[in-house]
Structure 1
Amino acid sequence: MYLRENHLSRHNNPFPEILDDTVYVRILKDPNYWISQDLEDKIIQIIAQSLDISGILYHLGTESLITNAYDLLPLDDSRIDLEEMIQRLPILIGRLTRAVYLNVKPVADHKVLFIFKYLPEYQEKWYDAVFFQGMLNGLAVLFELKTFTIRMTKTRLFGIHVSHKELGEDIQFGADSNEYELEWLEDKMFLSRSRLTKDDVSNRHRVMVTSRSDSHLEEISIVDVKDVVRKSRELAIENRDLEAAVEVLKSFKQELEKKQLSMAKDLRLAKNIQKGLIPEIIPDWNGIQFWTGFTPMQEVSGDYYDYFPYNMDKLGVAVCDVSGHGVPAAFITALSKLLFSNYKKPKPSETFKLINRELLDLVKQQGYTTCVYVLIHDDYKVLYSVAGHPRPILFRAKTNKAEICEGDGTFLGMFPDAGETFMDFQIQLEPGDKLFLYTDGLTEAENDKGDAFGETKLIEIIESCKEKSIQETVENILSIHKEFTMGTDPMDDITLLGLQLSPRLPEFKTIKSKGDAAYQNKQFSEAVTFYEKAHQILPRDLDTQLLYGKALAYSRSFEKAIQLLESYNKFKTNHFKSHSVLGYCYYQMEMFEKAELEWKKAHSISDANLSNLCNLAQVYAKLNEKKKMKDVIQKIKSIEKSYLHILPLEKKWESLPDE
């Protein structure tokens, strides 16, 4: 009924989710086509999301009465007044809806009670109350009443969507019927078919009650109801345009979300790559212990640190700060690792010159890198060079004082003549001395008052940790730094790398040498005792860790040996013996799949080692992998046909069941 009265667009179905186009057209064209109350509810709810539905329904009720009034007039062209038209109103209600029937009850002169009753299977809705009151207003408009009142007195509803005063005051809610009261002061108008043509009915759309007088009786003002409906339609069209715009925005949002997901995926990939480039742990080297703190500002950091072994006599350590953040910075850090690995020159300044040239060629001045690079010799002489980076801080154990080292030089990857600024500086480490390398994100970080952390505060903390290990010192610095910057957003990545020449180095060397002697004499249990003590002094000394693990394995302490050797392999040393012995431990514990994996790793490092190939053949026999065992035997024969273990292996192979 509401759709027909509103004459919504006949071309565009505004309710495609709940109403197909065929049904929609039939509703508009066929006045006898009925829809379910549930469908009607859904349509009203959709309209109410974008329009002032209560006002529109009131106007539609008025329009419905006016447009159908002609059919209620007598066919013989006799005239009727308002009261007789009221008596004919139930006929119109019966035509418009099957859910409601109307009783009309005169109360007094010029006062009538309208009682709307619903069939039991139908549930009254708030918008019905508004629509029916609009219909009664249509009577007043049709008969051009000057002064009248329409108010609801009872309703079966327990609440109404619109303001109660718009329908009437003192409404009795939860009643057994829906009642309205119409009262008017004069009735001078008579209508007949000859006096009220179809065009006249159409013109009556221009008369509508819109205000109230102090006597609570409504007064007429002239308003074009069709104009109201037209504007409502225009608003609906604008709303559809707005909805279309919203859909476009949703599409843009979806595209943006896709791009964000793609970027997030790229960032995760870059983060994982960078995570593989930056070592979690730097192992102890020649009595020097390392500890690091690394806090990236974003998922992908512009800070970078790494270590680079020079055979057995030197170790390079770099701390870099790449301009910017995110994926571009990650690319340059990956490139830096490659360049430092390739250019292991005897002087850091020479390494810088080569890296500067390569970055200029590859990055094309689209990013630069600051760096401090130290080269530690086995006699604890340290050469270092600075490229636009904060200078190292050296703590002397003898004086318990820390100082900023000298050094200067421009950054890498920006200026072709930067090589002229790189210089080498030298310091000599003594037992207990500490050296700190860091990025400017550490010292330039500010607290909530805008004060920078600064180098002075950093030196004070270092000196206050004179009795602490390098691990404790670094962790203490970072803890105080975190407290200092609490309540502020990070401004930059933060990297702190500390190293210390162990004050217990002489003791360590004495104990380890005793362990080495016992190991050489195959006194593995005794070797374990000495290596355990040495390991406690320098827990990340790789040589001690490997020998300790091997001694444990050969003394049949397999579980402890596995724990130690797996920790050793985390340093990515790719040491043949560590994987070989680890495979032996797993084999002895009958963990054959893991033994196979470790021996395959050992084979990838040294593919011609006959002992390891023999081990692989043995484990394939345990796993009943006959074909794989045969392939390994053939590999052994190709290396050395006379290898003494070939015959026993072939007999073992022949005894295996066919796969």
Structure 2
Amino acid sequence: MKFIRENLINKAFLLFTVLVAAVVTVGIVLNRMQVSSISLNLFLAVSVLVLAFILIVFILDVIIPLNRVIKQVTNLLTGKNYKKVNPITIDEIGVMTHFFNEITTDLEKISYDIKERRRMSSELDIASKIQQDVLPKEAPETPGLDIVAKTRSAAEVGGDTFDFLMSPDKNQLFVYIGDVTGHGVPAGLIMMMVDTLVTAMVSQGVSNGRDLIVNTNNLLTPRISSRLFMTSVMLRWDKQAQKMYYTGAGHEHILVYRTKTEIVETIRSGGIALGMIPNVAQIVQEKEIPLEIGDTIVLYSDGITEAKDKIGNMYELDKLTASLKRHGYRPSAESIFDNLTKDFSNFVGEYVQVDDITMIVIKYLGKDSATSKVKLEVSVDESQAERKSKLWGWS
């Protein structure tokens, strides 16, 4: 900007010098032509006035407007307060002024967008922290069951959930998994609503999975958009009877590995997703899953079966079932879980996670077995690089 100003001043000075030289030359010529001194003086006076007028016009139309623009541009570049400049002329300086004003308008919009993004990012971080605090850190001690559960969100706030809730009489353990349509803040809000409702009803003594699903749906449906819903499977473990029951709400199949036959059963969860219709009492049923020592139950979200490899092939249910058939014989839920996720990771490779992923593995060890340690893990995908290098943090 200093260069532009000095360049214009130099050119103006050169022009003014040329004009003065021209006036002096004309004056000398007139003097030699013996023009009267009065006429010569008059000519010189008029010439001086004309030159002064030209100089004043140049200062008013060029120097002052240019200085005004240069000052604001300098303030902008140095981080000081700046303001828009009203264009006085429609010449080059007026065009420069117009472009400066356009640039400042765009910069103000960009600055506002950056501030909004920072604010939203901060709020998402808080929402993510709240959501992770809602998910269980540990499960109630349950002799006979060995459990591993992990979830990973594709965004700061996810739509997958799971929980372990003990009834007030300590005889019923409820284990459920849920998957809200989509992910992000709307899905996270629905997830937390369902978690809150289920937790409240279990604490108030609701004693079976069917009533939990029906009552949750009745309370949830009027309060959410028709475009949002949540699939779920609710397991109920009767500690005294050593029996497992399930109630479905439109979720993925339940997988059961049978130790004696070394086969995997796929059980349709049944029911209809929470939030889709007002009353599901005639649709939802609670059924038993007969278990023998060594049998294993696997619950999962569709982020697993719908995951794709680099050429677009989906993992699908058959690959998960085949993986469980290979590894269901293993002695612990954790060893089964680790091998299931290893097979999954080998299939998807560097697949960038686009959906939330959750899996629960429950192995029945028998009534007289010691209480096993339940392992839970919750994590959030922080970056694309992290997703590529270590899917779920499981390997």
Q: What interval of TM-score do these two structures reach, taking the shorter chain for normalisation? A: 0.7 to 0.9
Provide the rounded CA distance (Å) in 1 between the counterparts of 2:251 and 2:303.
11
Greater relative contact order, per chain length (Cα 8 Å cut-off, separation 6+)? 2
Provide the rounded CA distance (Å) in 2 between the counterparts of 1:67 and 1:44.
26
1:528-539 equivalences under 5 Å are: 538-539=372-373
CA displacement 1:97-145 (0-9 Å, x = unmatched): xxxxxxxxxxxxxxxxxxxxxxxxxxxxxxxxxxxxxxxxxxxxxxxxx
Does residue 1:426 correspond to 2:384, yes or no? no
Provide the rounded CA distance (Å) in 2 between the counterparts of 1:406 and 1:457.
17
Does the 8 A contact of 2:249 with 2:272 survive in 1?
yes
Matched residue type, 2:134: L
Corresponding residue to 2:234 among 373, 377, 382: 373
Provide the rounded CA distance (Å) in 2 between the counterparts of 1:280 and 1:392.
24
1:276-295 equivalences under 5 Å are: 276-295=133-152
Corresponding residue to 1:263 among 120, 127, 132: 120
Structure-1 residue corresponding to 2:81 = none
Structure-1 residue corresponding to 2:72 = none
Shift of 1:385: 1.3
Shift of 1:67: 2.9
Corresponding residue to 2:195 among 333, 337, 350: 337
Corresponding residue to 2:277 among 415, 419, 422: 415
Structure-2 residue corresponding to 1:473 = 336
Structure-1 residue corresponding to 2:215 = 354
1:62-461 equivalences under 5 Å are: 63-70=15-22, 72-73=24-25, 75-77=27-29, 198=47, 234-310=91-167, 311-344=169-202, 345-363=206-224, 365=226, 367-378=228-239, 379-461=241-323
Shift of 1:79: 7.9
Name which of structure 1's ranges 484-493 and 454-463 shifts more when overlaid on structure 2.
484-493
Does the 8 A contact of 1:432 with 1:500 survive in 2?
yes
Q: Percent identity?
A: 22
- Relative to structure 1, the CA distance from residue 353 to residue 479 in structure 2 (aligned partners, 3 Å threshold; closer, same or farther) is same
Shift of 1:366: 5.5
1:591-602 equivalences under 5 Å are: none
- Relative to structure 1, the CA distance from residue 489 to residue 76 in structure 2 (aligned partners, 3 Å threshold; closer, same or farther) is same
Provide the rounded CA distance (Å) in 1 between the counterparts of 2:43 and 2:119.
75
Does the 8 A contact of 1:293 with 1:478 survive in 2?
no
Shift of 1:427: 1.1
Does the 8 A contact of 1:388 with 1:411 survive in 2?
yes
Shift of 1:287: 1.6
- Relative to structure 1, the CA distance from residue 285 to residue 365 in structure 2 (aligned partners, 3 Å threshold; closer, same or farther) is same
Structure-1 residue corresponding to 2:76 = none
CA displacement 1:185-220 (0-9 Å, x = unmatched): xxxxxxxx979x849x98xx9xxxxxxxxxxxxxxx
Does the 8 A contact of 2:233 with 2:269 survive in 1?
no
Shift of 1:402: 1.4
Shift of 1:428: 1.8
Shift of 1:268: 1.6
Shift of 1:58: 8.4
Provide the rounded CA distance (Å) in 1 between the counterparts of 2:309 and 2:31.
91
Shift of 1:240: 1.9
- Relative to structure 1, the CA distance from residue 357 to residue 540 in structure 2 (aligned partners, 3 Å threshold; closer, same or farther) is closer
TM-score (norm. length: structure 1): 0.45
- Relative to structure 1, the CA distance from residue 539 to residue 316 in structure 2 (aligned partners, 3 Å threshold; closer, same or farther) is closer
- Relative to structure 1, the CA distance from residue 235 to residue 335 in structure 2 (aligned partners, 3 Å threshold; closer, same or farther) is same
Structure-1 residue corresponding to 2:326 = 464
- Relative to structure 1, the CA distance from residue 485 to residue 63 in structure 2 (aligned partners, 3 Å threshold; closer, same or farther) is farther
Matched residue type, 1:296: S
Provide the rounded CA distance (Å) in 2 between the counterparts of 1:364 and 1:406.
26
In structure 1, stretches of 5+ residues that fail to align are 1-42, 81-192, 206-228, 510-534, 542-659
Structure-1 residue corresponding to 2:74 = none
Shift of 1:460: 1.4
1:494-643 equivalences under 5 Å are: 494-502=357-365, 506=368, 508=369, 538-540=372-374
Shift of 1:278: 0.6
CA displacement 1:397-445 (0-9 Å, x = unmatched): 1122212113312111121233322122211222211101111111101
Provide the rounded CA distance (Å) in 2 between the counterparts of 1:285 and 1:402.
24
Structure-1 residue corresponding to 2:349 = 486
Shift of 1:483: 3.4
Matched residue type, 1:474: F
TM-score (norm. length: structure 2): 0.73
Matched residue type, 2:216: I
Does the 8 A contact of 1:436 with 1:499 survive in 2?
yes
- Relative to structure 1, the CA distance from residue 337 to residue 73 in structure 2 (aligned partners, 3 Å threshold; closer, same or farther) is same
Does the 8 A contact of 2:218 with 2:279 survive in 1?
no
Shift of 1:236: 2.4
Shift of 1:66: 2.8
Does the 8 A contact of 1:436 with 1:497 survive in 2?
yes
Provide the rounded CA distance (Å) in 1 between the counterparts of 2:21 and 2:282.
102
Does the 8 A contact of 2:154 with 2:354 survive in 1?
yes
Matched residue type, 1:68: V
Shift of 1:290: 1.0
Does the 8 A contact of 1:77 with 1:194 survive in 2?
no
Matched residue type, 1:486: G
Provide the rounded CA distance (Å) in 2 between the counterparts of 1:432 and 1:242.
75
- Relative to structure 1, the CA distance from residue 317 to residue 79 in structure 2 (aligned partners, 3 Å threshold; closer, same or farther) is farther
Does the 8 A contact of 1:316 with 1:376 survive in 2?
yes
Provide the rounded CA distance (Å) in 1 between the counterparts of 2:339 and 2:189.
32
The count of aligned residue pairs is: 331
CA displacement 1:584-619 (0-9 Å, x = unmatched): xxxxxxxxxxxxxxxxxxxxxxxxxxxxxxxxxxxx
Larger Rg, first or second structure (1 or 2): 1
- Relative to structure 1, the CA distance from residue 241 to residue 499 in structure 2 (aligned partners, 3 Å threshold; closer, same or farther) is same
Provide the rounded CA distance (Å) in 1 between the counterparts of 2:361 and 2:318.
17
Matched residue type, 1:337: D
Provide the rounded CA distance (Å) in 2 between the counterparts of 1:341 and 1:386.
18
Shift of 1:342: 2.8
Matched residue type, 2:286: D
- Secondary structure class of the residue paired with 1:282: coil
Provide the rounded CA distance (Å) in 2 between the counterparts of 1:261 and 1:489.
24
Does the 8 A contact of 2:248 with 2:270 survive in 1?
yes
